[in-house]
Structure 1
Amino acid sequence: MIDSAKFPITTRWPAQDPSVIQLYSYPTPNGVKVSVALEEMNLPYEPHLVTLSDADVKSAEFLSLNPNNKIPAIIDPNGPDGPIGLFESGAILLYLAEKSGKFIGTTASDKALITQWLMFQMGGLGPMLGQMGFFFKFAGADIEDPRPRDRYRDEAIRLLKVVDGQLNGRDWIAGDYSIADMAIAPWINALEFYGTKDVVGYHDLKNVPAYVERFYNRPAVQKAKTIPDPNR
């Protein structure tokens, strides 16, 4: 069970079923990673919509679970040593994969390769595409100096080519479908939201478009892509 004194976030977002994993999220690429994992792994969970507004992510209750004020975060009442709270989407994916025994490979070598590509997304693909989005779609688009925009566009192009090359002869990024794909595909899909597919030559890539389509054709992904529902 979840003690509200230990997890004050539950006073703002109360658990209807405190015996299952509590997900605090919003369906951005980072948020979708975790909802996809929970659906694919068939782990019982309860989603809570945490908007990106300061009123939510900078509230005392949310900061009590994630001092970095970013979604997603989880509480697992059935952690290895009792209830555990976690933030950072990559860390959550690793935790859930190890908890379920799914989508992290069957050998130590498998796990190392999957983790490698997960870290590639966390340290490179996600941050670079996110910054590109800022300079093409959001406030950065008003900056007259083209250098920041060009810097992130060029790095996005480079990273997409890395993914495209890795997918030669493969359906998935690290062998079998894994948490690495759950991390990478939602971020590539964000190019649609940012309106930058043409900017990065998306349709000229040999393998990436089919990879993203393959990912989003999975039933669990179709369900998870709007969890928590931002329109409720």
Structure 2
Amino acid sequence: MASFKTIKCGSICQMVILVLALVAGAAILTVGLVMNSKYSPKGQQQPLVIRLNSFRVSDLNVSNSVSGANWDATLLFGNRHQVFEISIQTFETFVCYNHQDALSCALVEPLHLGPKKQKLVHISFNATGCGGGEQPFIEDIVLKQIKRDGDNGTLHVGLMLHLQVTFKKGPWSWVYELNPLCSGLDVRFMSGAGVGMITGDDPRPCSVPLLH
């Protein structure tokens, strides 16, 4: 009889522990969802700001190929939020023609931005910019278009960035994949020198997608 009571008591205790564990788990999940909804950067003004400070190209031979060109850009990364910390993993950046055809690429080291902080980053695009000596393949039709634009003295390009961004606030963090774009870059060439710089005002804002 005592053994039966002991078994019954043990079963009830196990059930109580299981119920308490389920309640605690539900409470933790609810708190997490509330905190995520309340403090998440989603739906707020984009904390990450990117501005293009300078952009130039050298050794560009539009009559032959653009693979030997050296592109240089200086970007300002800023965190305008007073609380969030922003971390960006190692990322790829592309010089693009017509917003879609990549001409050159570069790998950029990770960076961290504290609240209300900013950092200048210099990016060099060259024959080994993406590592392993590999650069984007450029179709013949694109090369012909580039040559036509180069003969007119101005090349229309843009910068595309592929970022994995972590926003951190205390013990909470949110990770997003973002593809900012610095578009409308008109590179004007010095006659016969293969050297060009962007025209217009500097610095200029880049488009950073809102967080969804």
TM-score, length-scaled by structure 2? 0.28
More helix by share: 1
TM-score, length-scaled by structure 1? 0.26
